[in-house]
């Protein structure tokens, strides 16, 4: 037996047996509440959105957006159920294929975008981000993010077991190349900075959970900031967004979107105007059903309603951390960490853009925004987490938490379980 196999055998011997048990159904409850809120708001405003589009020359049916969202939701629920019933070994078997499929789809989209202005690809604002499937569209960057979630979790999980998380040649350089190629496809070729930011947020959460040392975390952060600044200064539309964000001239035409979002949030006041009584979603606020849904929610439900919605998101994210805290297998622990980072980044960037904290960028609000691909893969990821929650440990964690002093309490990803503590220090 080789030394490496001997080490792995010892680790397997000391790892506590984890039996399949009841999953954490609170994930379903929180997700269901958010989806229901999104459907109610969409039902209230979609006829007016259709009317405003038809006045501009469109020919949409009154129930167009509602019907499409229900179809998207049914597909998402099917993906969620699929992820909760298939064995976890299925994902390990097909991880590489999913990642390669995502990379190939993004590359094909970029190639077709050079020769097509319509047909199989959809161009909007000078960017090519979607395949046109006739009845719907498909954004391959979402498939790529899911593939990276699975691949990086497995890759870092193996490095954790080998004690090489902080190894430059065997861990950080290969991972950096993958992230660099994915960023090239998404941020440069598809001109989608928002999706790129959420992808980097996912990777950052996984690296932090894997135990990357602080010096390397700081270096990675500086590299990401430097690359981000380079991408901004080499892109005129990104320069315009940043200058608009920094400018105090609120009457500038470039500030129209964020100004309308501010008007929507301010109009909602403390308790909101109620369903169907707002006006910003009816032709004034761009992307009212997609990226700007948070402003529509603010106008509809007011400050109190937004606090409740953010509290639901916080509860969902805390459940992910709780599940992650009780996972022994490093690969599945990192999958949950990545799902946490992905969802948290979506919420932070979307809310920050709508409230003027960050420059405006196109990122959906999970389970609330109108759309298909983002909803599909967000529900698929959460379904996978629900399946993983069947294999968490129980018992002494609460008791140990009560006995810990403040200096020993864990940070994000620092589990208390003896069986998994070894890979957290790798």
DSSP string, 377-391: HHHHHHHHHHHHGGG
405 falls within a domain: no
Q: How many residues does the chain have?
A: 426
Query: What is the CA angle 284-289-292, rounded to 5?
Result: 70
* Beta carbons within 10 angstroms of residue 71's beta carbon: 13
- Measured distance CA(257)–CA(250) in Å, rounded: 11
Contact 361, 346 (CB under 8 A): no
Separation of alpha carbons 156 and 135, rounded Å: 39
What is the domain extent for residue 320?
21-392
**Residue 336: inside a domain, yes or no?**
yes
The answer to whether residue 258 is domain-embedded is yes
Under a CB-based contact definition with an 8 Å cutoff, are residues 349 and 360 in contact?
no
CB 203 within 8 A of CB 247: no
The region that residue 401 occupies, defined by phi over 0 for left and psi between -120 and 50 for alpha, beta otherwise, is alpha
Q: How many CB atoms lie within 10 A of CB 6?
A: 10
CA distances from 161 to 12, 50, 91, 174, 298 (A): 10, 55, 19, 17, 46
Strands 127-132 and 121-124: antiparallel
Q: Which residues of the chain have pLDDT under 70?
A: 1-18, 51-59, 61-62, 125-126, 248-254, 395-426
Burial (CB < 10 A; 0-12, 13-18, 19+), residue 333, is buried
Q: Residue 137 in 3-state DSSP?
A: strand
Domain for residue 4, yes or no?
Answer: no
- The pLDDT of residue 343: 96
Contacts of 348 (CB under 8 A, 6+ apart): 201
Q: How far apart are alpha carbons 180 and 314 in whole angstroms? A: 30
Could you give the number of structural domains in the chain? Answer: 1
What pLDDT shows up at residue 282? Answer: 76
pLDDT one-digit tens code per residue, 105-120: 999 998 888 777 777 8
Task: Report if residue 236 sits inside a domain.
Answer: yes
Query: Does residue 9 lie within any of the structural domains?
Result: no
401 in a domain, yes or no?
Answer: no
Does some domain include residue 177? yes
For 42-67, write each residue's pLDDT tens digit.
888 877 777 666 666 666 766 777 88
User: What is the DSSP annotation of 307-318?
Assistant: HHHHHHHHHHHH
The Cα–Cα gap between 142 and 362 comes to: 14
- Spatial neighbors of 279 by CB under 8 A, at least 6 apart, are 267
What is the C-alpha separation between 137 and 68, in angstroms, rounded?
11
Report CA-CA distances (Å) from 30 to 24, 52, 232, 352. Answer: 11, 33, 36, 22
Predicted pLDDT at 190: 85
CB 207 within 8 A of CB 156: yes
The pLDDT of residue 414 is 43
φ/ψ of 356, rounded to 5, equals 80, 10
Partner residues linked to 130 by β-bridges: 122
So what's the pLDDT on residue 253? Answer: 62
């Amino acid at each position: 037996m080789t030394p490496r196999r001997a080490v792995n055998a010892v680790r397997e011997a000391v790892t506590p047996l984890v039996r399949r048990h009841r999953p954490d159904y609170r994930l379903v409850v929180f997700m269901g509440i958010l989806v229901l809120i999104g459907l109610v708001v969409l039902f209230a405003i979609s006829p007016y959105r259709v009317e405003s589009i038809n006045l501009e020359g469109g020919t949409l049916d009154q129930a167009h957006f509602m019907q499409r969202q229900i179809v998207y939701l049914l597909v998402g629920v099917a993906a969620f159920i699929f992820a909760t019933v298939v064995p976890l070994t299925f994902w390990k078997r097909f991880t590489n294929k999913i990642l390669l499929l995502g990379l190939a789809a993004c590359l094909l989209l970029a190639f077709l975008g050079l020769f097509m202005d319509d047909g199989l690809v959809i161009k909007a604002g000078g960017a090519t981000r979607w395949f046109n499937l006739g009845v719907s569209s498909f954004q391959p960057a979402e498939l790529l993010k899911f593939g990276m979630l699975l691949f990086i979790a497995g890759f870092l999980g193996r490095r954790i077991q080998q004690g090489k998380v902080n190894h430059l040649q065997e861990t950080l350089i290969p991972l950096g190349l993958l992230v660099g190629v994915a960023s090239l496809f998404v941020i440069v070729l598809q001109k989608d900075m928002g999706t790129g930011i959420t992808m980097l947020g996912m990777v950052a959460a996984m690296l932090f959970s894997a135990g990357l040392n602080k010096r390397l975390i700081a270096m990675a952060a500086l590299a990401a900031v430097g690359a981000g600044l380079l991408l901004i200064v080499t892109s005129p539309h990104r320069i315009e967004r940043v200058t608009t964000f920094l400018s105090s001239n609120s009457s500038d035409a470039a500030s129209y979107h964020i100004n309308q979002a501010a008007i929507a949030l301010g109009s909602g006041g403390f308790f909101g105007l109620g369903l169907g009584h707002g006006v910003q979603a009816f032709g004034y606020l761009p992307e009212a059903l997609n990226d700007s849904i948070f402003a529509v929610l603010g106008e509809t439900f007011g400050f109190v309603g937004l606090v409740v919605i953010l509290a639901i998101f916080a509860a969902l994210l805390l459940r992910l951390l709780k599940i992650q805290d009780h996972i022994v297998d490093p690969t599945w622990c990192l999958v949950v960490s990545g799902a946490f980072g992905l969802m948290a980044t979506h919420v932070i960037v979307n809310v920050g853009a709508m409230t003027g904290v960050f420059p405006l960028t196109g990122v959906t609000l999970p389970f609330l925004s109108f759309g298909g691909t983002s909803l599909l893969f967000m529900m698929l990821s959460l379904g996978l987490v629900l399946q993983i929650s069947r294999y968490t440990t129980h018992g002494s964690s609460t008791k140990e938490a009560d006995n810990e002093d403040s200096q020993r309490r864990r940070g994000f990803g620092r589990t208390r379980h003896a069986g998994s503590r070894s890979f957290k220090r790798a």
